[in-house]
A and B are shown apart, each in its own frame.
Chain A
Amino acid sequence: DADVTQTPRNRITKTGKRIMLECSQTKGHDRMYWYRQDPGLGLRLIYYSFDVKDINKGEISDGYSVSRQAQAKFSLSLESAIPNQTALYFCATGDRGGEKLFFGSGTQLSVL
């Protein structure tokens, strides 16, 4: 089983719909991150969390919200999806004080 699991793997939705992407991890890490990947732009940070009570905005948080339900779970919501939110979304985790991030396999979201 993967250490960082994202669901769903693929999602197609319509403009204006509310969408939730979920991430769970079995690594016991405190830090969790949401990134989006667009062709030619690399990965950009949306939100990150250092524990259940510590949520921080990243570079491109507008139009997104997050919830850290437990140490192991970090979900990303699009309250009203728009087409330019079509992207590949990655969740990542990191342990406190550690240098490395561990990535999930990604969720491909298409907003029509």
Chain B
Amino acid sequence: GEDVEQSLFLSVREGDSSVINCTYTDSSSTYLYWYKQEPGAGLQLLTYIFSNMDMKQDQRLTVLLNKKDKHLSLRIADTQTGDSAIYFCAEDTGRRALTFGSGTRLQVQP
């Protein structure tokens, strides 16, 4: 199966920007997603981008898509302690059966 790769851990200071990176493998993916998982909870959809877009901004979140390199990133501006969580990127390989990365744990230090 396809692999979606993410770095495992990112630590930032409160107020800084966080950038979480992801590489995916299926060039035919129609949608790419970012999900957030807080401790003891399920996954919550943060944002998604259609494959014909390069960028999508939603308040503090900016998603960048580089289709040539199959690279997806999530930038969180003004990172807060409440942003501490695990972030998963996912690609839609068809029929909304998403393939997830292994998750990046974001730690925000006060």
A residues contacting B by CB (< 8 A) are: 4, 31, 33, 35, 40-45, 48, 50, 56, 58-59, 90, 92, 94, 98-106
Report yes or no: A99 in contact with B8, Cβ–Cβ below 8 A.
Answer: no
27 contacts between A and B (CB under 8 A): A4-B42, A31-B96, A33-B96, A35-B100, A40-B8, A41-B102, A42-B4, A42-B100, A42-B101, A42-B103, A43-B100, A45-B99, A50-B95, A56-B95, A58-B97, A59-B99, A92-B43, A99-B31, A99-B48, A99-B92, A99-B96, A100-B45, A101-B96, A102-B45, A103-B35, A104-B42, A105-B42
Q: Contact check: which of A4, A45, A102 meets B97 at CB < 8 Å? A: A45
Q: Nearest residue in A to B41 (C-beta to C-beta)?
A: A105
Report yes or no: A48 in contact with B95, Cβ–Cβ below 8 A.
Answer: yes
Interface of A is mostly: strand
B44 at the interface (CB under 8 A from A): yes
Q: Which residues of A contact B44 (CB under 8 A)?
A: 103
Number of interface residues of B (CB under 8 A): 24
Report yes or no: B88 in contact with A101, Cβ–Cβ below 8 A.
Answer: no
Q: Contact check: which of A48, A50, A106 meets B42 at CB < 8 Å? A: A106
Question: Interface digits, B29-73 against A, CB 8 Å rule (1 contact, 0 not)?
Answer: 001000100001111110010000000000000000000000000
B1 at the interface (CB under 8 A from A): yes
Report yes or no: A42 in contact with B97, Cβ–Cβ below 8 A.
Answer: no
Q: How far is the CB of B62 from chain A (nearest CB, A)?
A: 19
Q: Which residues of B contact A31 (CB under 8 A)?
A: 96
Q: Which residues of B contact A41 (CB under 8 A)?
A: 102
The listed residue with most A CB atoms (<10 A of its CB), out of B8, B92, B102, is B102
B residues contacting A by CB (< 8 A) are: 1, 4, 8, 31, 35, 40-45, 48, 88, 90, 92, 95-103
Q: How far is the CB of A101 from chain B (nearest CB, A)?
A: 7
Q: Which residues of B contact A58 (CB under 8 A)?
A: 97
Q: How far is the CA of A45 from the CA of B99 in the complex (A)?
A: 8
Q: Which residues of A contact B90 (CB under 8 A)?
A: 43
Q: Which residues of A contact B45 (CB under 8 A)?
A: 100-102
